Each structure stands twice: as structure tokens, then as C-alpha cells.
Amino acid sequence: IAGITQAPTSQILAAGRRMTLRCTQDMRHNAMYWYRQDLGLGLRLIHYSNTAGTTGKGEVPDGYSVSRANTDDFPLTLASAVPSQTSVYFCASSPGGHTEAFFGQGTRLTVV
Amino acid sequence: AQSVTQLGSHVSVSEGALVLLRCNYSSSVPPYLFWYVQYPNQGLQLLLKYTTGATLVKGINGFEAEFKKSETSFHLTKPSAHMSDAAEYFCAVSDRARDDKIIFGKGTRLHILP
């Protein structure tokens, strides 16, 4: 079934460690997004990419980096994790042109 | 920059009653607007969207929303609530003049009372 795959589904990470959350889509969508979801704060955009080779900062980019080397993959890296990065992370993609986004199932990350 | 405000973090309605979830947007140009639903421990799925044309938009599961430019609103309604509608609902906006960023509101959790 076509869609978005996120890995891992959950992770406990020691503070200060580096972590990459993986996201792959097989829908050939141009745009991809990373959001974090926190209780009472909804979904906040971390980084996005309109097309392969380009990225942009969202609402809460600090402490995170992304790359978009090809259409399908959009990894999110935490260079040095801190407890405030404990969250549920959602990757999404869309065809672009302001069409709707399709979401993965999320990665639950706990930084201790 | 575009933004979305959802009024009420929790809304409770009785089964069979009208559902009304409020969303107001801020955008420098006419926006694209979306409503998503999230069931427990799942990702988000699209309920409906407004792009251009008819301002009353119908979505899945009997939901609909009306784009009102004069009120900068895009409220979500359903005539008769079902127990299965209990979930969290998110309003989102994408600014036509900018790139493909999609900005979400903080969400409204809908509780259905038997």
C-alpha cells in the first residue's frame, strides 16, 4: 500500500545523543514536512521541503536539521538531543501546489 | 505569516447533537484551508479542504465546513454526532502566495456524551 513510512515507531534516547528519524514516501510527492505534536500545542512545523534539493525552516526549527537528497526521503536529525525534544514526530508529504498533506503514523521520541 | 486559531481545546456534545468546531485563520491573501482528524495513536487524515469556488465544502463522515472571508473563519460542523466522531480535530492553513507550508492550529478534542 502506497504511503509514508516512518522509522523507528518509538525510541528512548539519552540526552546529548545524535538521532535521525527516517521518513520515506512512495507517492512521488514533491513536498514533505516534519511536525512535532505536543499536548496542548497541536502540530508545529519543524522543517519542510517544497521539492528535492530544497528545504525551509518552519515554526520550531532550532535543534533540528533536514536534508532532501531525493524525492522519496526526508530524514530529520537531532544533532544533540535535549529533553524538550521529547515529542511525537510526524512526517507528511503532499503533491505540492497547496494540496493536502498525507501523514505517517508518527515516531514517539523520549529524551532522558 | 499565516496562522490558525481554534477556539476551545475541548468540546463536548451529546450523541445526536450538532457538532460545531471553530477555526479562524490569518493570512495576507486568500488561503487554502483544511480540516484533519486524528484518532488515538494514529496519524492525521484529511476531512475536507477549501481551495477555490464553493464556500461550503463537504467532507467525509458527514462533516462540512464553510469558508467565510468576511469573518476569516472556517468552522467545521456535523448535524448529528456519533460516538465514533470522538477524536482530535485540527484546522490548517496554507498561504497561496507563499510556498507549500501548511500551518496547523492547536487542535480541538471532541468528546461525545452518550
pLDDT digits (tens, 9 = 90+) for B1-10: 788 999 999 9
Q: Which residues of chain B does A56 touch, with a Cβ-Cβ cutoff of 8 Å?
A: 99, 101
CA distance A3 to A11: 22
Identify the pLDDT of residue A87.
98
Q: List, in order, residues 6 or more apart from B13 with CB less than 8 Å away.
A: B19, B81, B110, B111, B112, B113
What is the rounded distance in angstroms from the CA atom of residue A96 to the CA atom of residue A15? Answer: 36
Q: Which of A43, A45, A107 to mutate to test the interface with B (most CBs of B within 10 A)?
A: A43
Query: Does the beta-carbon distance from A43 to B104 stay under 8 Å?
Result: yes
CA separation, residue A82 to residues A18, A19, A75 (Å):
10, 11, 18
3-class DSSP assignment, residue A85: helix
pLDDT at position B29: 77
Contact A103 B101 (CB under 8 A): no
pLDDT at B30: 75
Partner residue opposite A50 with nearest CB, options B46, B49, B100: B100
Q: Calculate mean pLDDT across residues B20-34.
A: 89
**Do A17 and A80 touch, CB atoms closer than 8 A?**
yes
As given in the structure block, the three cell numbers for residue A32 are: 514533505
**Would you call B100 and A48 a contact, using CB atoms and an 8 Å cutoff?**
yes
Contacts of B104 in chain A (CB under 8 A): 35, 42-45
What pLDDT does B43 receive? 86
- Please report the pLDDT score of residue B25 as a whole number: 93
User: Does the distance separating the beta carbons of A106 and B43 come in below 8 Å?
Assistant: yes
Predicted pLDDT at A98? 74
User: B109: pLDDT confidence band, cut at 50, 70 and 90?
Assistant: very high
Low-confidence ranges of chain A (pLDDT < 70): 1-2
Least confident of A18-22, A70-74, B78-82, B91-95: B91-95
Whether residue B66 has pLDDT greater than 90: yes
DSSP string, B12-53: EEETTSPEEEEEEEE-SSPEEEEEEEE-TTS-EEEEEEE-SS
C-alpha cell at A51: 521539492
Closest-CA residue of chain A to B101: A48
Q: Quick check: B14 pLDDT over 90?
A: yes
CA triple A94-A98-A101, angle to 5 deg: 30
In this predicted structure, what is the pLDDT of residue A26? 95
Q: What is the mean pLDDT of residues B18-40?
A: 91
Name the DSSP class of A80: S
Question: Looking at the predicted structure, is the pLDDT value of residue B38 above 70?
Answer: yes
In the predicted model, is pLDDT for residue B98 greater than 70? no
